[in-house]
Amino acid sequence: MEVGGALLQHLADAGRPVSMLGLSVATALPLNQVFTYMVSLVRTGLVRRDSMTHSFEPGPLALKLGLRALAQLHPLHKAVELAIELLKDENHGAFVAIWTDHGPTVIRYHGPEMYLHVGLHVGSVMSIAHSSTGRLFAAFFPRHTIEPMLAREVAKAEAVSTQCFEDVIENFAGVVRNTNLSRTLGVPIPGVDSLSAPVFDRGQMVLSVTIFGPSSTLDTSDTGTVARGLLQLSEKLSS
C-alpha cells in the first residue's frame, strides 16, 4: 500500500504523464516492481495508461476522490449550502464547479435525479460556449487557459470554426464581467435554463455556483430572486 501511495504521489506531483522508467527513477524501485503496482492501480481506476505513449497519469477514480475531497473544503461546502437555500422549486437544482485540466468541472451537485440521466452530476465537464458555467470561466479566466478546452469543443463540433466559438465568447464575456452573472436558455440541455455567478479569491475567480431548472419555472432575469440571491452569495464568499 505504501509503495502504491508513493507512485501515486509522484504522479500527482509531476503534473504530466510519467513513463514507467520515470516512475522507477523517481521512487528508486526496480522496473518489474513498478510494473506490478501500476497494473493493479490501472485496474482500480486510480491510474490511467495512455494507449499511445504508454505513460501513466491519475485515473478516473483518482479524479473522483480528489473532487470529493475538494468539495468538503470551505468555501465550497458553504457555497452549496447557500445555493440550496435559493432553490424554491423541487425541479430546480444547484451545483458548484471549479476549473480542472479538463475544463469547468462539477464538484458538488444538488438536484433532482432526472438531470443525472442527461449527464449532469459530480465530475461533469461543462461546455465553454454552451453552458452558463463555462461562459463564466471564459469571461474571467485568461484566454490561454480557455483555448485548449475551446479547441476540443471545436474538434467535436461539425462545420463550426474556432473563430465562430471565439465570437460567441466575446459576445457574452463583456456582459458577464459587468453583471457577474452568466445565463443560458435551453442549452446545453433543451428545456432547462441556468444562471451562474462567480466566487473570487483576492480578485481571481476560483469557482462558480449555478442554479438550473425548467425554462417554464426558473426566473433567470437580472432582477429576479435567483439572480439577486446568487450575487449576494458571490459577495459573501468572495475575498
Model pLDDT for residues 211-227, shown as the tens digit of each residue: 999 999 999 999 999 99
Residues 41 and 68 in one domain: no
Q: How many domains does the chain have?
A: 2
**How far apart, in whole angstroms, are the C-alpha atoms of residue 221 and residue 226?**
8
Cβ atoms 132, 195 nearer than 8 A: yes
Residues 77 and 49 in one domain: no
Residues 48 and 94 in one domain: no
- The residues pairing with 204 across neighbouring beta strands, listed in sequence order, are 201
Residues 142 and 218 in one domain: yes
Residues 212 and 161 in one domain: yes
Residues 125 and 188 in one domain: yes
Among 19, 40, 58, give the residue marking a domain's end: 58
Tens of pLDDT, residue by residue over 152-209, are: 777 776 555 556 666 767 778 889 999 999 999 998 889 999 999 999 988 999 999 9
Residues 167 and 79 in one domain: yes
Residues 92 and 133 in one domain: yes
Q: What is the Cβ-side half-sphere exposure of residue 142, based on CA atoms within 13 angstroms?
A: 3
Residues 42 and 116 in one domain: no
Residues 49 and 68 in one domain: no
Q: Quick check: 74 pLDDT over 60?
A: no
Query: Which of 1-5, 7-11, 108-112, 124-128 has the least mean pLDDT?
Result: 1-5
Give residue 5's pLDDT.
86
Give residue 214's pLDDT.
94
Residues 117 and 23 in one domain: no
Tens of pLDDT, residue by residue over 10-59, are: 888 887 889 999 998 988 999 999 999 999 999 999 999 988 888 998 88
Give residue 130's pLDDT.
87
Cell of 123: 465530475
Q: Quick check: 103 pLDDT over 70?
A: yes
Residues 67 and 168 in one domain: yes
Cell of 222: 437580472
Q: Residue 38 sits in which domain range?
A: 2-58
CA 136 vs CA 68, 99, 173: distances in Å: 22, 11, 8
Taking the model in full, what pTM does it have?
0.73
